[in-house]
A = this chain, B = another copy of it.
Amino acid sequence: MKKIINDPFNFVDESMEGILAAHSNLLKAAEGNVRAIVRADAPAAHKVAVATGGGSGHLPVFLGYVGRGMADGCAVGNVFSSPTSSQMKQVTKAVDSGRGVLYIYGRYQGDMMNFDMAAEDCAEDGIEVQTVLVTDDVASAPREEWQKRRGVAGLFFAYKIAGAKAETGSDLSSVRTAAEKAVSNMRSMGVALGSCTLPTVGRPTFSVSDDEMEIGMGIHGEAGVQRCKLENADQIAATLVDYVAEDLPFCKGDEVAVLVNSLGGTPLEELYILYREINRLLTERGIQIYRPYVGRYACSMEMPGASLTLMKLDDELKELLDAPAETPFFVQN
CB atoms of A57 and B275 under 8 A apart: no
Q: CB of A279 within 8 A of chain B?
A: yes
Q: Mark A266-308, 1 if CB is under 8 A from B, else 0.
A: 1111111111100100000000000010111001011010100
Please give, as numbers and ranges, the residues of chain B lying within 8 Å of A268 by CB-CB distance. Answer: 59-60, 64, 296, 299, 329
A236–chain B nearest beta-carbon distance, Å: 6
A323–chain B nearest beta-carbon distance, Å: 14
CB atoms of A3 and B331 under 8 A apart: no
Please give, as numbers and ranges, the residues of chain B lying within 8 Å of A113 by CB-CB distance. Answer: none
Of residues A269, A279, A295, A296, which shows the largest number of chain B Cβ atoms within 10 Å of its Cβ? A269
Known: A331-B331, A331-B333. A2 touches B194 (CB 8 A): yes
Which B residue sits closest to A12, measured CB to CB? Answer: B269
Please give, as numbers and ranges, the residues of chain B lying within 8 Å of A299 by CB-CB distance. Answer: 267-268
- Complex CA–CA separation, A21 to B275 (angstroms): 8
Known: A14-B273, A18-B274. A6 touches B233 (CB 8 A): yes
A59–chain B nearest beta-carbon distance, Å: 4
A192-207 at interface with B (beta carbon < 8 Å)? 193-194
Contact among B22, B271, B273 with A275 in the assembled complex (CB-CB below 8 Å): B22
CB atoms of A233 and B4 under 8 A apart: yes
CB atoms of A234 and B57 under 8 A apart: no
Known: A60-B268, A268-B60, A302-B267. A279 touches B5 (CB 8 A): no
Q: CB of A261 within 8 A of chain B?
A: no
Q: CB of A127 within 8 A of chain B?
A: no
Extra contacts, 15 of them, besides A5-B233, A6-B273, A64-B268 (Cβ < 8 A), are: A4-B193, A4-B232, A4-B273, A4-B306, A5-B273, A11-B273, A14-B273, A15-B269, A18-B273, A18-B279, A21-B292, A22-B275, A265-B265, A268-B296, A331-B331
Q: CB of A109 within 8 A of chain B?
A: no
Contact among B230, B267, B302 with A266 in the assembled complex (CB-CB below 8 Å): B302
CB atoms of A15 and B272 under 8 A apart: yes
A130–chain B nearest beta-carbon distance, Å: 30
- Complex CA–CA separation, A269 to B18 (angstroms): 9
A197–chain B nearest beta-carbon distance, Å: 11
Please give, as numbers and ranges, the residues of chain B lying within 8 Å of A275 by CB-CB distance. Answer: 18, 21-22
**Size of the chain A interface, CB-CB below 8 angstroms:** 57
- Complex CA–CA separation, A333 to B68 (angstroms): 13
Where the two chains meet, the residues of A that have a C-beta atom closer than 8 Å to any C-beta of B are 1-6, 11-12, 14-19, 21-22, 56-57, 59-60, 64, 193-194, 210, 230, 232-234, 236, 264-276, 279, 292, 294-296, 299, 301-302, 304, 306, 326, 329, 331-333
Which B residue sits closest to A2, measured CB to CB? Answer: B193
CB atoms of A4 and B333 under 8 A apart: no
CB atoms of B276 and A17 under 8 A apart: yes
Which B residue sits closest to A300, measured CB to CB? Answer: B267
Please give, as numbers and ranges, the residues of chain B lying within 8 Å of A264 by CB-CB distance. Answer: 267
Please give, as numbers and ranges, the residues of chain B lying within 8 Å of A21 by CB-CB distance. Answer: 275-276, 279, 292
Which B residue sits closest to A275, measured CB to CB? Answer: B18
- Complex CA–CA separation, A270 to B193 (angstroms): 21
CB atoms of A272 and B22 under 8 A apart: yes
